[in-house]
Amino acid sequence: MSALLRLALASAWNRRLSLGLTLLAVMLAATLLLSVERVRQAARDGFAQSVSGSDLIVGARTSPVQLVLYSVFRLGEATNNLGWDSYQKIAADPAIAWSVPLSLGDSHRGYPVLGTTPGYFVHFHYGDRQPLRFAAGTAFAGIFDAVLGAEVAQRLGYRVGDKITLSHGDGGLPGMEHEDKPFTVTGVLAPTGTPVDRTVHVGLAAIEAIHLDWIGGAPVPGFAIGAEVVQKFDLTPKTITAFMVGLHQRGEVFRIQRRINQFADEPLLAVLPGVALDQLWQTVGVVEQALQTVSWLVLAVGLAGLMATMLAGLNERRREMAILRSLGAGPRHILFLLMLESGVISLLGCLLGLATVTLFAAFGGGLLADFGLAALPLAVDAAEMKLLGGVLVCGLLVSLLPAWRAYRLSLADGLIPRS
C-alpha cells in the first residue's frame, strides 16, 4: 500500500502542471467563497453597528427605513424637517437622559455636512458601544469650526487648521457655495468604519449662520451678511432634520417611542435603530445573496475543471493503471488512487484558500477600509469550517465520476490496455 502511495505521488508529480492549474482553480474558488463570506459578515456587522448607544432616532414622519437612511447613513434627503420647539419639548421629558440634534442638507465636495452639538462626540457610539475618538484636534467650539470624519480628512488631505467652504445641498449646482463663510478644521476623528468617516461635522449655529442671507434655498442677490457680524443674529435653528435620544432606563423605550409617535404638535416618527437597521439590511440582502451565488458558481467552475482534468488524464493513464495491475494492484486500488488524488487537491485548495484569506485579513486591512469595511475577522468560525467541509465533499463527489470510469476501464482493460 505504501508502495502504491509513493507511486501515486511520483505519478502526480509527473502531471504537476495540469494538477497545479487545477489546484489553483480550486484554491481561487475557496478563497472567493471564504472572502465573500467574511466580507458579508463584516458588512453585516458594520452595518448593524453603524449606530449604537442611542435608544431612539426621531425625525419627521416618514418610513423607518427612510429615516435611518438619511439620519444614520446620510443617504438621500429628508422629506420634512421637524420643528426646534418640538425637539425642545420632547427633550425635556425626564425619562430622557440626553438628546443630540442632527441637521443635514449641506455638503463639502460630495461629503455630507452634519450640524449638531458637541454632545454628539460624547453620546454617539458605534460598533460594540465604542465612542468616537479624535485622531487630532478637538470638538468644534466657535461658530465656523468643523470636525472631519477620517475618510474626509484622508481623501481630501485636510489637517487641523485648514480652511474649507461648504456647498449648499449636494453641491451639484454652480454658484451654490457658502464661500463667504469659510470654516476652520479643529479636529479629525479616528476611523470608525461607519458613515461618520464620511461626514463633516459643524455646530448647529453654523448651519443657521451660513443660511442667514439665503431665502428659499438660494442666496439673495445684493444682500450679504459677513461672517464677522453673524454673532449679532439669533442663531437658534428653527428646524432640524432628526435627533438621537438616550434614555435613563432602556425599559422605557417603548413608552417614549409611543409618546413621540403620538406627539400632538406635529407628526413625528421614533424608531429603534437596531430594528430599522435590520429592516434596511433585508432590502440590501439581495446583493448579499447575489454575491454568494456568484462565489458558489466559481466553486462549481473550479470543481468542473478538476473533473475535466481527471477525465482527460484517464486515457494516458490507462497504461500506468495496467502496469499497476500487473504488479498486483486491484481495481479498488485504482479507485482509491483517483479519489485520493482529487481529495488531496480539494483539501490543499481549501487550505491554500484559507491561508490566502487569512493573509489578506491580516495585511490587507487598508484596502478594506477604502470600502468602508471594518477589519475582517482573522479566526475561522464554525460556519467557515462548514463551508470548507462542503468544498471538500463537493471535490470528492466530483471525482466520483472519473474514478468510477477509471475503475471500469481497469476492469475491462485488465493487463492489456486497448488504446
Partner 1 sequence: MNAAAIRIDDLAFRWRPDGPLCLTLDHLAVDAGKSLFLHGPSGAGKSTLLNLIGGVLLPERGRIEVFGQPLGQLSGAGRDAFRADHLGFVFQQFNLLPWLSVLDNVLLPCRFSRRRADRAGDPAVAAKRLLAALDLDATLAGVPAAELSVGQQQRVAAARALIGRPEILIADEPTSALDTARQDAFIDLLLAEAKAAGSTVVFVSHDERLAVHFDQKFALTAGVQP
**Residue 347 C-beta: closest distance to partner 1, Å:** 23
Q: What cell does 341 get?
A: 488524488
How far out from the chain centre does Cα 234 lie? 42
Residues numbered 250 to 309 that lie near partner 1 (CB under 8 A) are none
Nearer to partner 1 by C-beta: 327 or 351? Answer: 327
Q: What cell does 412 get?
A: 475491462
Q: Is 327 in the site for partner 1 (CB under 8 A)?
A: yes
Nearer to partner 1 by C-beta: 251 or 328? Answer: 328
Residue 136, SS3 per DSSP: strand
Burial of 345 (0-12, 13-18, 19+ CB in 10 A): buried
How far out from the chain centre does Cα 131 lie? 20
Q: Is 330 in the site for partner 1 (CB under 8 A)?
A: yes
Contact assessment for residue 305 and residue 22, using Cβ atoms and an 8 Å cutoff: yes
Nearest alpha carbon to residue 279 among 67, 69, 65? 65
Nearer to partner 1 by C-beta: 288 or 320? Answer: 320
DSSP state letter for 416: S
Chain position carrying cell 421637524? 82
Nearer to partner 1 by C-beta: 16 or 258? Answer: 16
> Candidates 97-105, 228-236, 260-268, 329-337 — which segment interacts with partner 1 by CB under 8 A?
329-337
6-to-12, 314, 348, 406 alpha-carbon distances in Å: 10, 19, 18, 19
Chain position carrying cell 470624519? 149
Residues in the chain: 419
Nearer to partner 1 by C-beta: 123 or 333? Answer: 333
Interface size with partner 1, residues (CB under 8 A): 22
Q: Contacting partner 1 (CB under 8 A), which of 326, 383, 397, 404?
A: 326
The 302-321 site mask, x for binding partner 1 (CB under 8 A), equals: -----------------xx-
How far out from the chain centre does Cα 379 lie? 18
Q: Is 20 in the site for partner 1 (CB under 8 A)?
A: no
Nearer to partner 1 by C-beta: 367 or 412? Answer: 412
Q: Is 11 in the site for partner 1 (CB under 8 A)?
A: yes
Residues numbered 378 to 417 that lie near partner 1 (CB under 8 A) are 414-416
Q: Is 329 in the site for partner 1 (CB under 8 A)?
A: yes
Nearer to partner 1 by C-beta: 259 or 318? Answer: 318
Of the chain, the end-to-end C-alpha distance in Å amounts to: 27
Q: Is 17 in the site for partner 1 (CB under 8 A)?
A: no
Q: Is 322 in the site for partner 1 (CB under 8 A)?
A: yes
Q: What cell does 89 get?
A: 419639548
Binding site for partner 1 (CB under 8 A): 3-4, 6-7, 10-11, 13-14, 319-320, 322-323, 325-331, 414-416
